[in-house]
A and B are shown apart, each in its own frame.
Chain A
Amino acid sequence: MTIIVKNVTALLAGLVFLYGCYIVLHGHLTPGGGFAGGTIIAGSFILLVIANGIQYFRLKKEKEESSMFEGAGILCFLLLATGGLLLSVPVFFRNLLPGGTPGELFSAGVIPLYNIFVGIEVAAALLSIFLAFVIYKTEE
């Protein structure tokens, strides 16, 4: 790509990443949530790779790392869901933490944590699909 595209993406990718984090963290207050925010975070990385090319970053091991994040995200989600079973009342997906006042950032018990783990999982999954297509193509 041309130098204009590279410079503009270098400025934009951080903003896109921050916007994805905002969507994930405010999932219980505003429209959005883990799935949408995770996809935006993956989009910021994909933007950089498309603009600069695969040789610029020397991507080799990154796919393994994003696969690891994906597995860790869904594992944490599962542990949090089964955590309610182990403590006191045996109910799957029980809200462990205190609720707090509705409308604040730290409220709604474990729902923001679910949002964060699903966001990590979705972002890592989409990124590893994209990196698999790009990396395996160059290895041929």
Chain B
Amino acid sequence: METKLIIILILMIAGAIHSLHARDLLSAIVSYGVVGYSLVVGFLLLKAPDLAIVQIVVETIALIIMVSVLIISTREDLAEKSTVKIKGQSYVNIRNLSFVFFALVTGVMLLYFFNIVTTGLPELGIHETRMATEYIANGVEGTGSINLVTAVVFDYRGYDTLGEATILFTAVMGILAILRLKTHKI
């Protein structure tokens, strides 16, 4: 099974690299789809049908929405130039420089907090499965749900699911607000 997984992972990496470097945005989206659908096969190889079902349908809908956005907008990749020419003289683009500055600051901050967070974790290779063994032993009697994934998602970790649903709701509100603003201006 591991060799199959390695082959699929190599395919995913190739798709991701190609989608970064593709000239045409449509071909970038198609190679992004290669990544997503290979992930579905990977989930099925690892015996996780719940995740595989969610991944395959969300991937399909996301690709459709991306293509519909692409059809509205331009297909060419717009690259920002590092120098701007005004009246013959060339100036350095400050916008680009500030992006680099913010990226560096964010990277250093994330590294710092990552270091703080990872100090409390158990060592590599040693895993504690106290919660998981509890769920597996008492899940069916405690919740009455045969599918343990659903038992965890909607009963033990119901608060997380509420957060996920709220995130989706907020995302839709944001998209509708932005699109409405744009069309009213036109």
Interface on A for B, CB 8 Å cutoff?
23, 27-33, 35-36, 39-40, 42-43, 46, 50, 63, 67, 70-71, 74, 77-78, 81, 92-93, 95, 99-100, 102-103, 107-109, 111, 114-115, 118, 121-122, 125-126, 128-130, 132-134, 136-137, 139-140
Contacts and interface: CB of A to CB of B under 8 A. Distances in A.
Given A114-B158, A118-B165, A134-B68, A102 B145 contact: yes
Contacts of A103: 146
B154 interface: yes
B10 interface: no
Given A28-B146, A33-B50, A114-B158, A39 B58 contact: yes
Interface SS, B side:
helix
B131 interface: no
B57 A40 contact: yes
30 contacts: A28-B145, A30-B147, A31-B147, A32-B53, A33-B153, A35-B54, A36-B54, A39-B58, A40-B57, A46-B64, A71-B169, A74-B165, A78-B162, A81-B162, A92-B159, A95-B143, A99-B143, A102-B141, A108-B143, A108-B146, A109-B144, A111-B150, A118-B161, A121-B168, A126-B61, A129-B172, A129-B175, A130-B68, A132-B179, A136-B183
A74 B182 CA distance: 27
Contacts of A74: 165-166, 169
Interface residues on B, range: 35 or more
B81 interface: no
Nearest first, the 6 closest Cβ-Cβ pairs linking A and B are A99-B144, A93-B158, A31-B49, A108-B144, A28-B145, A39-B57
Interface string B42-71: 000000011011100110110011001100
Given A35-B54, A92-B159, A115 B154 contact: yes
Contacts of A67: 172, 176
